[in-house]
């Protein structure tokens, strides 16, 4: 069941969406656009630009308890690092409208265990950054 | 931004694989984004012409981290499986996109996470096959003793002995006894005539003539095992009695055969002597096609064009002679001999078709690629010719019987021999001079030989030798440069003449649309670059060194002596008529609508200043020529006369003239019957190169239907009872004054021709320009003549005149101040801008209906932007369009097919529209506009193409 205000993921069926255990920290970079272009420049400076691909990229910082960290480890195992693309849901209120076909970073590499009160109560916690890169969108040609 | 895609279909037996650089959805299949790199495709034709085209293998790297291709190919072979590549825009139709490469997989290499497919072009895979000889014991079980295999000729041309030595020129292979006849094979295709038969009997020294009753020409339909699906009509010389063993037979023969239809070329009927070598080539290619059992994809149009060139002799060589295929050889050998003989290329074109191109002629409509727009930065390289040849020993008139060339002639490039020779120095190091005071030179020879197997006449031989020498001359420079592949790949073909402009070209000041011939094209599909290898179409003239008198040379740094190369290059066009005019049968006519003031002092050009006049005219009189005159209005002295020949449907004429300072007017003589002489357009074209001053005309009248008399059918004519105040003038275009466009402006001028049919008295007809944005007045001309007279009135105003603001649009208003009803006549309205210390401006070219504009924006490095401005009126709202089209021909604006264009949509009322077409206009050189669409009362199809230019 979708939970408003959080992000989530699923492999292929939107009904199987799994919400992230918490929102990313304030200051994360929610969306970047990466443009891959080919550009040729004439002798006198006219440029010809040819679009190759466009990617969205998310760089989401989390401060996680051990159980919360396990959620992302499970995600990593399920998609084999960069091995399998999956759907990232930006807004669980609108699963189909905000889903992006993405791959996560290759390794699962959270920080070492830390101790403190990131949420007001002293506890062990981990810092983890989830990198998501959108797979190229599909082009279409006619018959 | 539209995205270019490269897609490939790989026809693996179990399932066709569709691959691309990214995922691409096709309505019927899916291209997987598996391709890591496409490599490159390299096509070339040899220089000089004569060898055969080369096409490289393509190498496609397919990502296979998931083992899909390994599993696919582990138990089936990819070899000889077809691959097709296409390059198209996302959204385009695949089936309408030509293939850019097709071939067969010849190798597959599996590396870490990928498979490399090597794909070999197969277009010419048949080149190394033997032309079948047919004479063997399979086809002829009773072949004569001592012979197991021989070549059955294909005889086409005239092969006749000289009268001084009648020995026969074609020696026939012996078949043996067939049905009581002793048989010799003549040709696979029926010949036109066997003139004479000769025999050399054992013990004889020379061939002797055999009388016709002793032999007969036998024709037989045959199918040979080598080509079981083709029936040949072969011919033999049959002796009525068996000849002594060892007898040799020769004939004099004229070959002939029907040549089947080929594309649009109709078949040549039986009984035609094939003397055009292209017909022979076609005949042979069709035979090869039959042997292959599949169609060869020819560019029929190109073949027909070259055939036509050879048919008419191309004006520089005479009748074409040719022989036949009279000895065993491969198709490659046959083509090499033919292509060398006629200095012709047979390229494989980008869509896979096989073209045919004769040594290229000049190409006025060539695509033009400049360093400003297309040639990629730091990619231009040029080399001098190497090796070079300045004497060629040409062998021609090959005798198949003796295997010797009957004629060997040296052909020299004398200029290159002298240019190549070093200066001769005396013992003190001074140049030795000849009796004329020029450096004494001993020509330096670099020699090669050429064998023209198919040439039999001297004119053709000399023409082809000269063609050859031009490819290997000292000034035959070679270029290599990169172009953006998506922009140009469909404009360039092997063997084509293109124009290049580059400041680093080996010519004073660099190349300016210099003609080069494309010899090699490398398509780099990963980087979107097209690498072009070319050669000058006409070699650079290499001068023989001369001795320089150093003491007399201009001092270095003498700046005053340098030519001013900093001016602007302009073609300024002034329209004289706004609408077509025609003659009267009731007397000679002057057309006040053509009045313009002209002063050659308004123009200059440090490199070129030429004054031209152009007319498009009709003379329907059956026998009498009539003239269109441009005269000085004062005294009617002739400034220029166009003589329009009798019975001329419509002609475009362009002539230089010597201008004077005057008011010009067009006049017609009286014609036998009215309307026999018509001028559809009349304009002055001032060609300025290196200009520092000019005067640009902006003709703001829209034109109209053909007109006989200015007084009867004045444009903008209206009847007003009393003064109703200013009304917007419907017949004028709206003008947009661009900011930052003009430097340096002397003044603007409003020039109008108008009057009235009635006597105006103290009243006047007024023509005003107003700022459309503010409604404020800028300038006004007053016309006071009446009584059916008209007059030219000219008024100057400043670039910064009140209300004449940059970026605003300006519209014409007229007013009739008479208190009584009167017919006003408005015949012409032009704006002019006069510029000195010229550094930037906009050239206005009026587009009136289908009146073609001659201009090639890609030619012009000073162009910074190109706009299409039009004033559109749509009486009934609807969807209407005005489009700019690229025209082709003819020159005077009759309907031509549209091949490119842009559109706008008027939305009711008269309004000004602008489109930036800087990157839309193709590099063709003619444009026109056309209005239309489902809306009613649609548009006025008139406007401007505006070329903004700056230094």
Q: What is the pLDDT of residues B649-693, one digit of tens each?
A: 878 788 999 999 999 999 999 999 888 998 888 889 999 888 889
B113 dihedral zone (left: phi>0; alpha: psi -120 to 50; beta)? left
Whether chain B has a CB inside 8 Å of the CB on A46: the answer is: yes
Residue A54: list chain B partners with CB under 8 A: none
Chain position carrying tokens 């021709």: B753
- Cβ distance A136 to B33 less than 8 Å, yes or no, reads yes
Residue B92: list chain A partners with CB under 8 A: 141-142
pLDDT at B556: 27
pLDDT at B890: 43
Per DSSP bridges, beta strands B809-816 and B863-874 are: unpaired
Q: What is the pLDDT of residues B427-466, one digit of tens each?
A: 887 777 777 777 777 888 999 999 998 887 787 888 889 8
pLDDT at A2: 40
Whether chain B has a CB inside 8 Å of the CB on A142: the answer is: yes
- Cβ distance B24 to A46 less than 8 Å, yes or no, reads no
Half-sphere exposure of B647 (CA within 13 A, CB side): 2
Mean pLDDT, range B847-870, rounded to an integer: 68
Residue B36, C-beta contacts closer than 8 angstroms, at least 6 positions apart: B61, B62, B63, B114
Asked whether B931 and B941 are in contact (CB, 8 A), the reply is yes
Distance from CA of A22 to the nearest CA of B (A): 34
Asked whether B271 and B249 are in contact (CB, 8 A), the reply is no
Mean pLDDT, range B890-916, rounded to an integer: 58
Residue B27: list chain A partners with CB under 8 A: 142-143
Residue A43: list chain B partners with CB under 8 A: 371-372, 375-380, 502-503
Q: How confident is the model at residue B119 (pLDDT cuts 50, 70, 90)?
A: very high
* Dihedral, CA of residue B941, residue B943, residue B947 and residue B948, to nearest 10: -150
- Out of A42, A136, A142, whose CB is closest to B22? A136
Distance from CA of A52 to the nearest CA of B (A): 7
Q: How confident is the model at residue A3 (pLDDT cuts 50, 70, 90)?
A: very low
Q: What is the pLDDT of residues B241-274, one digit of tens each?
A: 999 999 999 998 888 767 889 999 998 877 777 7
Helix, coil or strand: residue B672: coil
Mean pLDDT, range B773-777, rounded to an integer: 87
Q: How far is residue B384's CA from residue B506's CA, in Å, rounded to a whole number?
A: 9
Residue B492 tokens, joined: 């360039």
Asked whether B375 and B503 are in contact (CB, 8 A), the reply is no
Whether chain B has a CB inside 8 Å of the CB on A39: the answer is: no
Within 10 angstroms of residue B910's Cβ, the number of other Cβ atoms is: 17
pLDDT at B500: 95
Mean pLDDT, range B779-785, rounded to an integer: 90
> Is B325 a residue whose pLDDT tops 80?
no
- Cβ distance A50 to B26 less than 8 Å, yes or no, reads no
- Cβ distance B377 to A142 less than 8 Å, yes or no, reads no
> Is A86 a residue whose pLDDT tops 90?
yes
pLDDT at B560: 26
Q: What is the pLDDT of residues B722-747, one digit of tens each?
A: 777 888 887 788 899 998 899 889 89
Residue A45: list chain B partners with CB under 8 A: 377
Helix, coil or strand: residue B805: coil
Strand partners, B141: none
- Cβ distance A44 to B1 less than 8 Å, yes or no, reads no
Lowest mean pLDDT among B335-349, B360-374, B476-490, B881-895: B881-895
> Is B711 a residue whose pLDDT tops 80?
no
Mean pLDDT, range B738-761, rounded to an integer: 86
Torsional sign, CA B77, B81, B84, B85: positive
pLDDT at B713: 47
Q: How far is residue B745's CA from residue B856's CA, in Å, rounded to a whole number?
A: 26
Asked whether B742 and B694 are in contact (CB, 8 A), the reply is no
Whether chain B has a CB inside 8 Å of the CB on A51: the answer is: yes
**Upstream peptide bond of B421 is cis (omega within 30 degrees of 0):** no
Contact residues, B window 715-754, toward A, CB-based 8 Å cutoff: none
Residue B387, C-beta contacts closer than 8 angstroms, at least 6 positions apart: B446, B472
Longest CA–CA span in chain A (Å) reads 64
Q: What are the DSSP calls for B732-751, one per residue? A: B--EE--TT--EEEEEEEEE
Angle CA(B504)–CA(B510)–CA(B516) in degrees, nearest 5? 90
Q: What is the pLDDT of residues B131-156, one digit of tens each?
A: 999 999 999 988 888 888 899 999 88
- Cβ distance A44 to B33 less than 8 Å, yes or no, reads no
Strand partners, B873: B910
> Is B41 a residue whose pLDDT tops 50?
yes
SS (H, E, C) B245-268: CCCEEEEEEECCCCECCECCECCE
Residues of A79-105 as b/e, b for ≥16 C-beta within 10 angstroms? beeeeebbbbbbebeebeeebbebbbe
**Upstream peptide bond of B387 is cis (omega within 30 degrees of 0):** yes
Which helix (H) or strand (E) segment holds residue B419: the answer is helix B414-420
Asked whether B155 and B191 are in contact (CB, 8 A), the reply is yes
- Cβ distance B95 to A143 less than 8 Å, yes or no, reads yes
Distance from CA of B856 to the nearest CA of A (A): 18
Helix, coil or strand: residue A21: coil
Strand partners, B220: B234
Higher pLDDT, B480 or B193: B480
Lowest mean pLDDT among A92-106, B358-372, B925-939: B925-939
Whether chain B has a CB inside 8 Å of the CB on A115: the answer is: no
Q: How far is residue B889's CA from residue B930's CA, in Å, rounded to a whole number?
A: 16
Whether chain B has a CB inside 8 Å of the CB on A141: the answer is: yes
Best probe of the A interface among B1, B6, B22, by most A CBs < 10 A, is B22
**Among residues B566, B516, B374, B858, which one has the least CA distance to residue A44?**
B374
pLDDT at A71: 96
Contact residues, B window 843-862, toward A, CB-based 8 Å cutoff: 861
Residue A53: list chain B partners with CB under 8 A: 22
**Among residues B353, B271, B261, which one has the least CA distance to residue B307?**
B261
pLDDT at B708: 59
- Cβ distance A141 to B486 less than 8 Å, yes or no, reads no
Contacts 24+ apart (CB under 8 A), B94-102: B94/A141, B94/A142, B94/A143, B94/B7, B94/B26, B95/A143, B98/B350, B98/B351, B98/B352, B99/B351, B99/B352, B100/B41, B100/B350, B100/B351, B100/B489, B100/B523, B101/B41, B101/B58, B101/B352, B102/B352
pLDDT at B703: 62
Whether chain A has a CB inside 8 Å of the CB on B883: the answer is: no
Residue A140: list chain B partners with CB under 8 A: 24-26, 90-91
> Is B903 a residue whose pLDDT tops 60?
no
pLDDT at B462: 86
Mean pLDDT, range B221-240, rounded to an integer: 94
Q: Measured in Å, how far apart are chain B's first and last C-alpha atoms? A: 31
pLDDT at B234: 95
pLDDT at B490: 87
- Out of A40, A43, A143, whose CB is closest to B529? A40
pLDDT at B554: 26
Q: How far is residue B803's CA from residue B773's CA, in Å, rounded to a whole number?
A: 9
> Is A5 a residue whose pLDDT tops 70?
no
Residue B373: list chain A partners with CB under 8 A: 42, 44, 46
> Is B547 a residue whose pLDDT tops 90?
no
Residue B531's alpha-carbon distances to B47, B483, B486, B546, in angstroms, are 17, 6, 12, 38
pLDDT at B936: 44
φ and ψ at residue B681, rounded to 5 degrees: -155, 155
Q: What is the pLDDT of residues B570-617, one digit of tens each?
A: 889 898 887 778 888 888 888 888 999 999 999 998 878 999 998 888
Best probe of the A interface among B1, B5, B377, by most A CBs < 10 A, is B377
**Among residues B613, B683, B677, which one has the least CA distance to residue B648?**
B677
Nearest CA in chain A to B528: A38
pLDDT at B642: 95
Best probe of the B interface among A35, A37, A43, by most B CBs < 10 A, is A43
pLDDT at B89: 92
Half-sphere exposure of B593 (CA within 13 A, CB side): 30
> Is B710 a residue whose pLDDT tops 70?
no
- Cβ distance B24 to A140 less than 8 Å, yes or no, reads yes
Q: How far is residue B478's CA from residue B531's CA, in Å, rounded to a whole number?
A: 13
Distance from CA of B949 to the nearest CA of A (A): 15
Half-sphere exposure of B733 (CA within 13 A, CB side): 32
pLDDT at A19: 94
pLDDT at B184: 96
**Among residues B879, B878, B926, B877, which one has the least CA distance to residue B901?**
B926
Higher pLDDT, B706 or B601: B601
- Cβ distance B93 to A141 less than 8 Å, yes or no, reads yes
Residues in chain A: 143
Residue B58 tokens, joined: 């393509």
Q: How confident is the model at residue B717 (pLDDT cuts 50, 70, 90)?
A: low
Asked whether B193 and B273 are in contact (CB, 8 A), the reply is no
Q: By CB neighbour count within 10 A (0-12 exposed, 13-18 middle, 19+ buried), where does B515 fall? A: buried
Whether chain A has a CB inside 8 Å of the CB on B93: the answer is: yes
List, in sequence order, the alpha helices (H) in B240-330. Answer: 277-292, 300-312
Residue B7: list chain A partners with CB under 8 A: 141
Half-sphere exposure of B73 (CA within 13 A, CB side): 24
> Is B549 a residue whose pLDDT tops 70?
no
Asked whether B525 and B35 are in contact (CB, 8 A), the reply is no
Best probe of the B interface among A35, A38, A39, A42, by most B CBs < 10 A, is A42
């Amino acid at each position: 069941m979708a939970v408003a205000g959080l992000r989530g993921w699923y492999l292929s069926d939107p009904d199987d969406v799994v919400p992230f255990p918490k929102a990313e920290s304030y200051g994360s970079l929610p969306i970047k656009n990466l443009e891959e272009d080919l550009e040729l420049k004439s002798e006198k400076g006219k440029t010809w630009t040819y679009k190759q691909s466009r990617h969205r990229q998310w760089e989401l910082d989390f401060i996680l308890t051990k159980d919360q960290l396990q959620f992302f480890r499970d995600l990593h195992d399920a998609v084999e690092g960069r091995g399998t693309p999956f759907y990232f849901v930006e807004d669980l209120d609108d699963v189909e409208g905000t889903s992006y076909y993405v791959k996560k970073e290759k390794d699962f590499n959270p920080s070492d265990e830390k101790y403190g009160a990131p949420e007001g109560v002293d506890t062990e916690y981990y810092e983890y950054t989830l990198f998501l890169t959108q797979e190229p969108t599909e082009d279409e040609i006619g018959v | 931004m539209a995205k270019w895609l490269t897609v490939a279909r790989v026809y693996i037996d179990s399932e066709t694989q569709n691959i691309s650089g990214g995922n691409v959805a096709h309505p019927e299949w899916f291209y997987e984004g598996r391709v890591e790199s496409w490599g490159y495709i390299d096509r070339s034709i040899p220089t000089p012409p004569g060898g055969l085209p080369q096409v490289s293998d393509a190498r496609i790297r397919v990502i296979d981290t998931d083992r899909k291709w390994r599993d696919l190919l582990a138990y089936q072979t990819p070899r000889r499986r077809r691959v097709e590549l296409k390059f198209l825009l996302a959204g385009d139709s695949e089936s309408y996109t030509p293939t850019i490469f097709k071939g067969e997989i010849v190798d597959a290499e599996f590396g870490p996470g990928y498979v490399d497919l090597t794909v070999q072009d197969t277009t010419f895979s048949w080149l190394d096959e033997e032309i079948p000889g047919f004479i063997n014991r399979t086809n002829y079980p009773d072949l004569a003793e001592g012979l197991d295999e021989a070549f059955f000729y294909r005889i086409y041309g005239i092969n006749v002995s000289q009268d001084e030595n009648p020995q026969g020129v074609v020696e026939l292979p012996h078949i043996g006894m067939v049905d009581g006849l002793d048989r010799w094979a003549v040709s696979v295709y029926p010949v036109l005539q066997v003139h004479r038969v000769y025999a050399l009997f054992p013990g004889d020294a020379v061939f002797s003539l055999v009388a016709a009753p002793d032999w007969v020409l036998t024709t037989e339909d045959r199918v040979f095992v080598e080509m079981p699906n083709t029936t040949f009509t072969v011919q033999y010389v049959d002796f009525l009695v068996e000849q002594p063993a060892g007898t040799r037979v020769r004939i004099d023969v004229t070959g002939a055969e029907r040549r089947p239809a080929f594309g649009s070329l109709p078949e040549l009927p039986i009984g035609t002597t094939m003397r055009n070598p292209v017909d022979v080539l076609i005949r042979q290619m069709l035979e090869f096609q039959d042997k292959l059992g599949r169609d060869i994809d020819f560019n029929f149009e190109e073949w027909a064009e070259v055939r036509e060139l050879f048919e008419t002799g191309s004006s520089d060589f005479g009748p074409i002679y040719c022989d036949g295929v009279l000895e065993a050889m491969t198709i490659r050998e046959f083509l090499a001999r033919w292509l060398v003989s006629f200095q012709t290329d047979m390229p494989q074109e980008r869509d896979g078709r096989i073209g045919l191109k004769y040594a290229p002629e000049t190409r006025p409509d060539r695509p033009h690629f400049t360093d400003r727009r297309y040639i990629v930065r730091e990619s231009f390289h040029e080399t001098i010719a190497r090796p070079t040849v300045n004497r060629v020993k040409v062998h021609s008139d090959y005798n198949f019987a003796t295997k010797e060339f009957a004629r060997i002639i040296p052909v020299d490039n004398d200029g290159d021999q002298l240019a190549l020779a070093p200066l001769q120095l005396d013992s003190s190091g001074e140049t030795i001079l000849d009796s004329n005071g020029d450096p004494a030179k001993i020509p330096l020879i670099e020699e090669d030989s050429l064998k023209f197997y198919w040439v039999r006449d001297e004119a053709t031989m000399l023409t082809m030798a000269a063609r050859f020498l031009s490819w290997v001359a000292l000034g035959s420079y070679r270029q290599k440069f990169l172009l953006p592949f998506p922009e140009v790949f469909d404009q360039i073909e092997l063997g084509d003449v293109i124009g290049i402009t580059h400041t680093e070209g080996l010519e004073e000041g660099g190349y300016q649309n210099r003609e080069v011939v494309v010899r090699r094209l490398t398509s780099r599909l990963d980087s979107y670059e097209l690498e072009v290898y070319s050669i000058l179409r006409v070699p650079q003239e290499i001068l023989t060194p001369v001795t320089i008198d150093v003491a007399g040379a201009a001092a270095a740094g003498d700046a005053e002596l340098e030519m001013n190369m900093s001016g602007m290059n302009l073609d300024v066009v002034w329209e004289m008529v706004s609408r077509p005019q025609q003659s009267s049968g009731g007397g000679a006519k002057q057309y006040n609508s053509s009045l313009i003031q002209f002063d050659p002092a308004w123009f200059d050009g440090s490199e070129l200043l030429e004054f031209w006049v152009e007319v498009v005219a009709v003379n329907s009189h059956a026998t009498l020529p009539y003239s269109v005159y441009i005269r000085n209005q004062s005294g009617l002295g002739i400034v220029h006369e166009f003589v329009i020949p009798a019975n001329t449907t419509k002609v475009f004429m362009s002539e230089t003239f010597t201008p004077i300072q005057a008011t010009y007017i067009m006049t017609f003589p009286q014609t036998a019957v009215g309307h026999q002489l018509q001028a559809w357009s009349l304009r002055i074209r001032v060609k300025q190169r290196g200009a520092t001053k000019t005067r640009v005309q902006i003709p703001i009248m829209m034109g109209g239907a053909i007109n006989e008399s200015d007084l009867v059918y004045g444009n903008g004519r209206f009847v007003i009872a009393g003064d109703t105040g200013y009304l917007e003038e419907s017949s004028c275009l709206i003008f947009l004054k661009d900011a930052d466009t003009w430097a340096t402006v002397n003044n603007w001028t409003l020039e109008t021709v108008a009057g009235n049919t009635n006597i105006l008295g103290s009243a006047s007809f007024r023509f005003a320009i107003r700022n459309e944005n503010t409604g404020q007045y800028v300038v006004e001309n007053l016309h006071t003549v009446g009584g059916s007279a008209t007059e030219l009135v000219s008024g100057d105003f400043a670039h910064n005149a009140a209300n004449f603001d940059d970026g605003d649009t300006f519209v014409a208003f007229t007013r009739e101040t008479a208190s009584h009803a009167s017919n006003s006549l408005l015949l012409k309205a032009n704006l002019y801008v006069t510029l000195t210390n010229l550094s930037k401006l906009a050239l206005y070219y009026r587009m009136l209906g289908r009146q073609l504009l001659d201009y090639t924006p890609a030619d012009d490095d000073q162009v910074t932007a190109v706009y299409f401005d039009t004033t559109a009126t749509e009486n009934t709202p609807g969807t209407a369009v005005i489009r700019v089209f690229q025209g082709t021909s003819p020159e005077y604006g009759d309907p031509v097919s549209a091949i490119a264009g842009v559109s706008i949509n008027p939305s009711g009322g008269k309004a000004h529209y602008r489109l930036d077409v800087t990157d839309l206009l193709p590099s063709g050189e003619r444009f026109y506009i056309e209005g239309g669409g489902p809306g009613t009362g649609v548009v006025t199809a008139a406007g401007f193409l505006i070329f903004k230019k700056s230094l």
